[in-house]
């Protein structure tokens, strides 16, 4: 007997052991068919190719899937790798099997490359959406498992690629389908190739620890069994080390040492019914000290993939912590095999049709009924038929695009870039030219043909396309194309709206500075831009007009305030110090004996105190001879007086100045107060100022969107000493955290 037949005999024995009523003749003929079609093909390991489908069928049999799945597993590479067709298989083994094989073939043909997370998510969705029958996914997962088990025969590059793909696509899908056991093996196998050093480090450390803990698992298992049987609980107890990848992830992602990982060991207690689960939990907590916050009731609140168990972590003898999972036999089946456990329950119901709508319903309900506590997990959880309204297609580069169901090449083109859509002249799907109306299917490779001389989209594209994105982009194109027209209509609409708010177009366009401010308010750079936006409906004329009205009102108010301030200033400055406001807002003081400033080497010159840093007597100061305004006095710490920033050609204009006796003259200066915003803040600041008997020229408070407030203060003080007193007083106002002088 050759190797192929030898391996097949083992399979047949296992199938009969699991299901004595199996139709062995049909399974054998599938084997013979696959064996003769794969013929002399060899695997990289040097074994006959047929060994692979037999191995996949063995895994399927371990999952106790139905016979069609076993037959399909044996044939799963026939369409891809031999000359047999869907029709051939349908004729010999029925259309169900042929559909399964074809489904697996489609998934095999999907090309993956490593992508960003979003792409991986799309790949997983596409994978699920393409397999109309959940058994197709299960066969594909088993196929991948066997390929991973025999990955050592592949090249380094291939090993890394396959391992990454398994980690990012296959293991998460196994997880979603609740197939923990398969998922763990896929993860451990992938890790060994993705990070061989890390994998072996963890392995070695684990070996050391388990040597130290020699006998721990067996002792603990016996100890628990003894106690539970004394309590009269029917149960099985299994102890084990957790799988390597889960430990690896905790060590590297959460940077914990092996000692810090609480659940290196996991014990499972499997019982008959749910009351027994809680009973066992009580016993365990009585025997060992539970670790706070580690108890989880997944029976009351199952995980989204259907997983149910009670979890708790306790500290065993010798201080070794371990996790205990308590569940019923049925929960155990679901935990290990997930969706596949479904077929196990159905054994003996041979005439039930499998893999049909009803099974889908079952999977959907199972996954849907789980109201998850972890929203992240819930979003990532996948329901097999949840993508009925989406279609997933590839770009020629292998990126996956998700589009609404029924999407056409037009949607695809605009989803890449509006320029692609606008210059599209044709489309290819899977290498063949198609019309623009052709609906795309999952897994299609779509290529858009563009031309620089394309005339742009046609109006009927808007009714052909399915996505709002494409529709909007086409609309956008038409907007742009008809710019002249839009400007004309926009202008007249805007003009009539302005009249409503009591403005004229002439009033707002008369002054170009004013116009700039107004346009900024509606986020437009130019008047034409504003008209065009109104013309195509991007901006409502009413809104634009009312915003401009608001802005005009605000500017008017500012103007009035400034006028009032000036009046205040002149009344304030009695005696010899005068502070007339110049058009630029600087404060001029004529040089008098007691004007406050002595300019080295210059007599009788005009002195102004610079507005940027508003020096007061006592501040170290420096002067700058301006053109026409006399000497401007800055604080020495003012950035505008920074010696490092002085222009070389102006060096000669900087002069030493010093304070003269200023008597009781008041000097204007500014403060900035930062505070946590609250009711009454401005009032308290004003009270503090009044208590200090400070002359306040202006106080404006602005609330910031982040809950803070800025208060700008203009005040008049005698000198630096008085100012410091004011600053100290203001710093004590509740909520204030910074009082600083403006500028400098
Ligand atoms: Mn295969």
Q: What is the pLDDT of residues 128-164, one digit of tens each?
A: 666 667 788 889 999 999 999 999 999 999 999 899 8
Ligand 1 centre from 428 Cα, in Å?
A: 29
Residue 572 pLDDT grade (very low, low, confident, very high; cuts 50, 70, 90): low
Mean pLDDT of the chain: 81
What is the structure's pLDDT at 602? 66
State the average pLDDT over residues 482-502.
84
Distance 724 CA to ligand 1 centre (A): 82
Strands (E) in 400-439, as ranges, are: 400-404, 424-429, 432-434
pLDDT at 118 > cutoff 50: yes
* Mean pLDDT confidence for 281-287: 91
pLDDT band, very low/low/confident/very high, at 543 (cuts 50, 70, 90): confident
What is the whole-number distance in angstroms between the Cα of residue 356 and the centre of ligand 1? 24
Q: Report the run of H or E that residue 724 belongs to, with start and end.
A: helix 720-731
Determine the pLDDT at residue 117: 60
Highest average pLDDT, of 35-49, 324-338, 493-507, comes from: 35-49
Q: How much is the average pLDDT of 264-286?
A: 91
Kindly give the distance from the C-alpha atom of residue 442 to the centroid of ligand 1, in angstroms, as a whole number.
21
The pTM assigned to this predicted structure is 0.54
Proportion of the chain above pLDDT 90, given as a percent? 25
81 is catalytic: yes
Q: Which of 54-63, 578-587, 678-687 tops mean pLDDT?
A: 54-63
What mean pLDDT comes out for the span 267-293? 90
More confident residue, 215 or 384: 215
pLDDT at residue 442 greater than cutoff 90: no
Q: 103-131 as b/e, with b when 16 or more CB fall inside 10 Å?
A: bbbbbbebebeeeeeebbbbbbbbbbbbb
Query: Facing residues of 656 across strands?
Result: 622
Confidence of residue 705 (pLDDT cuts 50, 70, 90): confident
By C-alpha distance, which of 673, 666, 687 is closest to 587?
666
pLDDT at 119: 65
Q: Is the pLDDT of residue 48 over 70?
A: yes
Q: Rounded to an integer, what distance in angstroms lies between the CA atom of residue 460 and that of residue 418?
A: 17
Q: How confident is the model at residue 632 (pLDDT cuts 50, 70, 90)?
A: confident
Q: How far is CA 341 from CA 135, 179, 186, 297, 716, in A?
A: 12, 9, 19, 21, 84
Model pLDDT, residue 439: 93
Range ranked top by mean pLDDT from 8-17, 172-181, 261-270, 285-294: 8-17
Highest average pLDDT, of 80-94, 199-213, 495-509, 619-633, comes from 80-94
Say if residue 120's pLDDT is above 50: yes
H or E segment and range at residue 164: helix 156-165
For residue 586, is pLDDT > 50?
Answer: no
User: Which residue shows structure tokens 């399909």?
Assistant: 72
CA 297, 303, 306, 310: dihedral to nearest 10 degrees? -20
pLDDT of 575 above 60:
no
Annotated active-site residue in 14, 23, 62, 81 = 81
Give the mean pLDDT of 515-532. Answer: 85
- Give the mean pLDDT of 461-467: 88
Percent of the chain with pLDDT over 70: 85
The pLDDT value recorded for residue 484 is 78
Catalytic residue among 47, 62, 80, 336: 80
Closest among 241, 149, 235 to 202, alpha carbons compared: 241
Taking a 5 Å cut-off on Cβ, the residues next to ion ligand 1 are: 77, 143
Between the CA of 266 and the centroid of ligand 1 the distance, in Å, is: 34
More confident residue, 144 or 206: 144
Strand, helix or coil for residue 466: coil
CA 12 to centroid of ligand 1, rounded, Å: 19
Q: What is residue 371's predicted lDDT score, i.e. its pLDDT?
A: 36
Q: How far is the CA of 102 from the centre of ligand 1 (A)?
A: 12
- Choose from 197-211, 413-427, 440-454, 458-472 the range with maximum mean pLDDT: 413-427
Query: For residue 111, what pLDDT is reported?
Result: 64
Q: What is the pLDDT of residues 298-318, one digit of tens each?
A: 888 877 667 889 999 998 877
Range with the poorest average pLDDT among 214-223, 310-319, 459-468, 598-607? 598-607
In three-state secondary structure terms, 634 is strand
Looking at 302-406, list the stretches that DSSP marks H as alpha helix, in order from N- to C-terminal side. Answer: 329-337, 341-345, 357-368, 375-380
CA–centroid distance, 146 to ligand 1, in Å, is 8
CA of 155 to the centre of ligand 1 (A): 17
* CA 80 to centroid of ligand 1, rounded, Å: 9
406, HSE (Cβ side, Cα atoms, 13 Å): 7
- In this predicted structure, the answer to whether residue 413 has a pLDDT above a threshold of 90 is yes
Distance 77 CA to ligand 1 centre (A): 5
Summarised one tens digit per residue, pLDDT across range 224-274 is 999 999 988 889 998 888 888 888 888 877 777 777 776 788 899 999 999
Q: What pLDDT score was predicted for residue 667?
A: 86
Q: Which are the contacts of 512, defined by CB distance < 8 A and separation ≥ 6?
A: none
Contact 173, 228 (CB under 8 A): no
3-class SS at 400?
Answer: strand
Q: Work out the average pLDDT over 42-65.
A: 92
Mean pLDDT of the region 664-689: 84
Mean pLDDT of 563-582: 53
Residue bearing the bigger pLDDT, 546 or 588 = 546
pLDDT tens for 345-385 read 444 333 344 333 333 344 444 444 333 333 333 323 333 34
């Amino acid at each position: 007997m050759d190797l192929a037949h030898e391996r097949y005999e083992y399979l047949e024995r296992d199938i009969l052991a699991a299901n004595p009523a199996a139709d062995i003749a049909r399974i054998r003929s599938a084997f013979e068919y696959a064996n003769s079609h794969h013929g002399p093909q060899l695997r990289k390991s040097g074994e006959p190719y047929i060994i692979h489908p037999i191995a996949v069928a063995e895994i399927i049999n371990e999952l106790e899937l139905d016979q069609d799945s076993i037959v399909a597993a044996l044939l799963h590479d026939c369409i891809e790798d031999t000359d047999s067709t869907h029709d051939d298989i349908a004729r010999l083994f029925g259309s169900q099997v042929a559909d399964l094989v074809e489904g697996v073939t489609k998934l095999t043909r999907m090309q993956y490359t490593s992508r960003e997370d979003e792409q991986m998510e799309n790949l997983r969705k596409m994978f699920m959406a393409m397999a109309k029958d959940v058994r197709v996914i299960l066969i594909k997962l088993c196929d991948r498992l066997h390929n991973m088990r025999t990955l050592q025969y592949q090249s380094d590059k291939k090993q890394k690629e396959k391992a990454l793909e398994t980690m990012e696509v296959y293991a998460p899908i196994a997880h979603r389908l609740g197939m923990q056991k398969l998922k763990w093996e896929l993860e451990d196998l992938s890790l060994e190739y993705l990070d061989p050093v890390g994998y072996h480090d963890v392995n070695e450390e684990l070996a050391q620890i388990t040597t130290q803990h020699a006998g721990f698992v067996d002792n603990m298992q016996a100890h628990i069994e003894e106690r539970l049987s004394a309590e009269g609980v029917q149960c099985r107890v299994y102890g084990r080390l957790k799988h390597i990848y889960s430990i690896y992830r905790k060590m590297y992602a959460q940077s914990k040492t092996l000692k810090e990982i609480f659940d290196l060991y996991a014990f499972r207690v499997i019982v008959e019914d749910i009351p027994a689960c809680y009973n066992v939990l009580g016993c365990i907590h009585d025997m060992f000290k539970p670790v706070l916050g580690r108890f989880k009731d997944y029976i009351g609140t199952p995980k989204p993939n259907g997983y149910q168990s009670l979890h708790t972590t306790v500290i065993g003898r010798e201080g070794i912590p371990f996790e205990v999972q308590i569940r019923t036999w049925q929960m155990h089946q679901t935990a290990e095999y997930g969706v596949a456990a479904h077929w196990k329950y159905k054994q003996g119901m041979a005439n039930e049709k499998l893999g049909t709508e009803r099974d889908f319903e079952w999977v959907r309900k199972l996954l849907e009924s789980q109201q998850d506590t972890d929203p992240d997990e819930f979003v990532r959880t996948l329901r097999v038929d949840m993508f009925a309204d989406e279609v997933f297609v590839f770009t020629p580069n292998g990126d996956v695009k998700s589009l609404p169901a029924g999407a056409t090449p037009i949607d695809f083109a605009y989803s890449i870039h509006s320029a692609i859509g606008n210059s599209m002249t044709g489309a290819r799907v899977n290498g063949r030219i198609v019309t623009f109306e052709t609906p795309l299917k999952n897994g299609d490779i779509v290529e858009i043909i563009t031309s620089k001389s394309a005339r742009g989209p046609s109006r009927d594209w808007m009714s052909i396309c399915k996505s709002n994105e494409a529709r909007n982009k086409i609309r956008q194109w038409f907007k742009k194309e008809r710019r002249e027209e839009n400007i004309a209509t926009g202008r007249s609409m805007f003009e009539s709206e302005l009249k409503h708010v009591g403005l004229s177009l002439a009033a707002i366009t008369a002054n170009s500075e004013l116009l700039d401010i107004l346009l900024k308010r509606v986020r437009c750079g130019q008047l034409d831009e504003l008209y065009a936006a109104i013309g195509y409906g991007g901006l409502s004329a009413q809104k634009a007009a009312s915003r401009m009205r608001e802005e005009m009102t605000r500017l008017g108010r500012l103007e009035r305030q400034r006028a009032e301030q000036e009046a205040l200033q002149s009344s304030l400055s009695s005696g010899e110090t005068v502070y007339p406001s110049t058009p630029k807002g600087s404060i001029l003081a004529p040089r008098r004996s007691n004007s406050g400033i002595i300019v080295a080497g210059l007599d009788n010159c005009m002195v102004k105190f610079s507005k940027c840093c508003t020096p007061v007597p006592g501040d170290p100061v420096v002067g700058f001879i301006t053109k026409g305004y006399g000497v401007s006095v800055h604080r020495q710490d003012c950035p505008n007086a920074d010696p490092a920033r002085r222009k070389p050609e102006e060096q000669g204009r900087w002069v030493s100045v010093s304070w003269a006796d200023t008597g009781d003259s008041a000097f204007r200066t500014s403060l900035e107060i930062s505070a946590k915003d609250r009711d009454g803040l401005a009032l308290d600041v004003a009270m503090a100022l009044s208590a200090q008997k400070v002359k306040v020229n202006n106080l404006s408070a602005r609330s910031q969107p982040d809950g803070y407030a800025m208060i700008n203060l203009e005040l008049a003080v005698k000198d630096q000493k008085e100012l410091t007193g004011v600053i100290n007083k203001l710093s004590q106002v509740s909520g204030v955290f910074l009082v600083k002088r403006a500028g400098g």
